[in-house]
Amino acid sequence: MHPPRTAPLPASLFPDPRGTATEPAAGPAPARGPVRTVAAAVCLALGVGLIGGAVAAGRQAEAPGRQSAAERDFAQGRTLWRTVPVDELFPRSVRAPGAGPGGADRRWTRVGVAPDGDCAGAFDPPLARALAPAGCTRLLRATYTDATSTTVTTVGLLVTDTDGAGMRALRTRFTTERLAERTDLMPRPYAPPGTVAERFGDAQRVSWRIGVLTDAPAVVYAVTGFADGRTDMPPQPAAQAVTRGATTAPAQSGAGHDASALADRMEAALRRALRAGTQEESR
């Protein structure tokens, strides 16, 4: 871009070296005619318009760059599951200092990873309908047990088929309608045969958490139950079970803490993978 051409300075700033006595006295300036006045006004308007247009064009030129970067990151989240090793998304063991009831440390071991697939049968029907507008590209799941093999937790990553606006709309609905707190909208567990979690069915669910992300096309969830198959415990959302002073069975047993902490770590693992992928692309 060439710098703007500077207008010539008036001659009065550079006096004639021979002096000004020989210069005839200037007479009164002729009156400016209407045509010249209109022309000057038009030029002024055009100049202002061109400057404003250049500024606006500069801003618009910057916006697509920002948007395309965000779109690239978002799109990468939709295909990330194909390239990230399963142990990065679902580590074999997970530690969470202070994540249990009363600030106790928690540790979980992975007992099984479900084959990746679609979302058929993975959610209670009302929850499936609530998630349907976002679509389902892939569903990834793994199940963990705590250090004493008392609780079992299925962690899931639903890769959606919508854009950022769709994810924001889904999150708004889940928040305003408090869908993540309804006992008829729970994720279903994955019970690997031959493991401590093989008796973990719909009737054994006691606490859960659902998180709708807006920086990635993903819904992260966790649902917890007991390995012994007990069914006599009313379910409670993890957000309520982990509140200070909660005395419900899901709170006292740590089931709510398990669901909350493992969902947190699933989100963290996903974001780490996204950052790593973005850095790799930029090299």
For residue 30, being part of any structural domain is answered with: no
Mean pLDDT, to the nearest integer, of 8-23?
36
Residue-number span of the structural domain to which 145 is assigned: 73-282
For residue 40, being part of any structural domain is answered with: no
The predicted structure's pLDDT at residue 78? 84
**Euclidean distance between the first and final Cα of the chain, in Å?**
29
* pLDDT for residue 174 is more than 70: yes
Residues near 251 by beta carbon (within 8 Å), at least 6 away in sequence: 101, 236, 240, 241, 242, 243
For residue 258, being part of any structural domain is answered with: yes
For residue 11, being part of any structural domain is answered with: no
The predicted structure's pLDDT at residue 61? 40
Asked if residues 126 and 185 have their Cβ atoms less than 8 Å apart, the reply is yes
What values do phi and psi take at 222, rounded to 5?
Answer: -150, 145
For residue 65, being part of any structural domain is answered with: no
Mean pLDDT, to the nearest integer, of 106-116?
97
The C-alpha atoms of residue 280 and residue 283 are separated, in whole angstroms, by 6
For residue 137, being part of any structural domain is answered with: yes
For residue 47, being part of any structural domain is answered with: no
* pLDDT for residue 52 is more than 60: no
Higher per-residue confidence, 123 vs 26:
123
Mean pLDDT, to the nearest integer, of 26-52?
46
Mean pLDDT, to the nearest integer, of 156-163?
96
The C-alpha atoms of residue 223 and residue 144 are separated, in whole angstroms, by 10
- Res. 273 pLDDT band, cuts 50 70 90: confident
pTM of the full structure: 0.75
Asked if residues 163 and 171 have their Cβ atoms less than 8 Å apart, the reply is no
Strand order in the sheet with 218-226: 93-96, 106-113, 138-146, 151-159, 218-226, 205-212, 236-237
The predicted structure's pLDDT at residue 283? 55
The predicted structure's pLDDT at residue 75? 80
What token pair was written down for 243? 């509140």
Asked if residues 213 and 219 have their Cβ atoms less than 8 Å apart, the reply is yes
The predicted structure's pLDDT at residue 66? 52
The C-alpha atoms of residue 37 and residue 25 are separated, in whole angstroms, by 26
Q: Which of 141, 160, 278 is nearest to 218 (CA)?
A: 160
Instruction: Count how many domains the chain has.
Output: 1
The fraction of the chain above a pLDDT of 90, given in percent, is 65
Q: Which of 278, 270, 257 is nearest to 157 (CA)?
A: 270
For residue 225, being part of any structural domain is answered with: yes
Residues near 79 by beta carbon (within 8 Å), at least 6 away in sequence: none
The predicted structure's pLDDT at residue 160? 97
- Strand 218-226, strand 106-113: pairing: unpaired
The region of weakest confidence among 68-72, 130-134, 260-264 is: 68-72
pLDDT tens digits, residue range 209-253?
A: 999 999 999 999 999 999 999 998 999 999 999 999 999 999 999
